[in-house]
Structure 1
Amino acid sequence: MIRFILWAAGVGIASFPTFQASHSSPFWNLPLAIDTINGAGHYRDLFFVIVPAAAVPLSTTVDFICLRGRGEIDTLLAVIALLINFTVLVSGLIGFLVIPPHSGALSAIEVHTSTTLIAIGLVISVVTEVWVSGAAERRRARNPSGH
């Protein structure tokens, strides 16, 4: 639960400047907030939310890979999660770079596609964070001495 709270805090803090600059309320009506952000020309900044969202599970996954005594399947899944979350992290950078600064509002299809990709990245990162944290805790519970 602590890991999820840290992940949520990272995502919230990373997205706060974009919501504030656009004068939108993120939690009450997300579609309206996204339209407001796009209308204000700040949609490009939403890609920054992917950075902490992917960085936290990357760190957790690397910690998990360094644990002794994990199973082969868990190790394989952790490596796959590491690669996928690295891809999510890079996709945030690419998404930010593809939209030129001061480009104004994006088209509806661009907003829909970008929002879908950001949402997929967020879901992947939170699922990774919860799964890897749980797998590490199960490992610690099975072998509290660390050997």
Structure 2
Amino acid sequence: MFLSSFAVSWMYNAYISTIDKDDIQMETLVEQSVLDIDKDELVRYKLGTRTTMAIFVLFILKPSDPLGMMNHLIPNETKIWHEFKKQVVGQLGTDDDELSFTVLDNSATEEQGLVADLIRDAQHAYRCFREHEKRKEKATGATDIIRTTNMRNV
């Protein structure tokens, strides 16, 4: 009896592990029109690190308490991280091509690797955000032209 329950349990776990969770999520959110998004509008960004993801999310969502959100997404509380978060949050409304980090460049020698990684992650997230904004503007512009054309024909 024990061996048969063990075998059934093993087969069930093997079956569950083969289910593609991304397909289920896509089907639930997109195909059932939960989010009301056309499949052609979906864009996947490969962000690489948790820091990049957190900064990208911060720029996309523009929360009312950005520092609180950064602290929630990246709970590190060292001096370097704290200064990095403050500088990223300070540049939320910027329209520059790149983010700028001033105080981080003067950190200790042993922390230069971390600082370089943080700046690289932030720049990558910001470039992805700018790409997202350009796609959104292009899509919105095309939609506005279609709406205007349709209204003239009515």
Above 0.5 in TM-score?
no
Larger Rg: 2
Q: For this structure pair, what is the TM-score category when the shorter chain's length is used for normalisation?
A: 0.3 to 0.5
- TM-score w.r.t. the length of structure 2 is 0.35
- TM-score w.r.t. the length of structure 1 is 0.37
Q: Which has the higher helix share?
A: 1
The structure, 1 or 2, with the larger RCO (C-alpha pairs under 8 Å, 6+ apart) is 1
